[in-house]
Homo-oligomer: A and B are copies of this chain.
């Protein structure tokens, strides 16, 4: 099997959610694994001067409409979250904690549930109790998670993961790196597939 694909995303990013709904299937089609990397766009934007799409003048209203339209186009369930964008450090830390304690597969299963919680079921995932509630309802180790997300080691790991992502050129969500080639945006999944298929860019 070839090298894994690196997938970077913020849990508050609608296009990141769309990517999360598709990337494993896409990668598997070409015999690839995916390494999921939760990041915090807030931390990235501090370096790049970026702003959330929905807060950019004129782009904001357009973007809210585009999220819904793109979801329909790609046949992905989507309901505009009541609160958006949100801080997502607790969800990101919970995912990293699961990864370290129970492995990548469990953490990816959880990440998809968090995204669906936010972008389908209208759950405010900035609220730690809501993150734990999603974990509880789906049979994850909620007690361990409640403690894990508050440990210094997980907090530091998330910071280091974001620094590492930025060092690799990651500046948005979703961001995918395939064999050293970077792709920003769910819009580039057609080009990612072409590269996976042909081995060329």
Query: A: which residues have CB within 8 A of B?
Result: 47-50, 56-59, 61-62, 65-66, 69-70, 72-73, 166, 169, 171-172, 182, 184-185, 187-188, 190-191, 194, 201
Main secondary structure of the interface of A (DSSP, over half): helix
A190 and chain B: residue at smallest CB distance? B73
Cβ-defined contact, B57 with A184, below 8 A: no
Partner of A185, one of B61, B65, B187, B194: B187
Contact residues in B for A62 (Cβ distance below 8 Å):
169, 171, 182, 184
- Shortest distance from the beta carbon of A189 to any chain B beta carbon, whole Å: 10
Contact A59 B69, CB 8 Å, known A187-B185, A187-B187:
no
Partner of A58, one of B48, B69, B188: B48
- Shortest distance from the beta carbon of A70 to any chain B beta carbon, whole Å: 7
Partner of A61, one of B73, B169, B172: B169
Contact residues in B for A172 (Cβ distance below 8 Å):
59
Contact residues in B for A58 (Cβ distance below 8 Å):
47-48, 166, 169, 171
- Shortest distance from the beta carbon of A14 to any chain B beta carbon, whole Å: 15
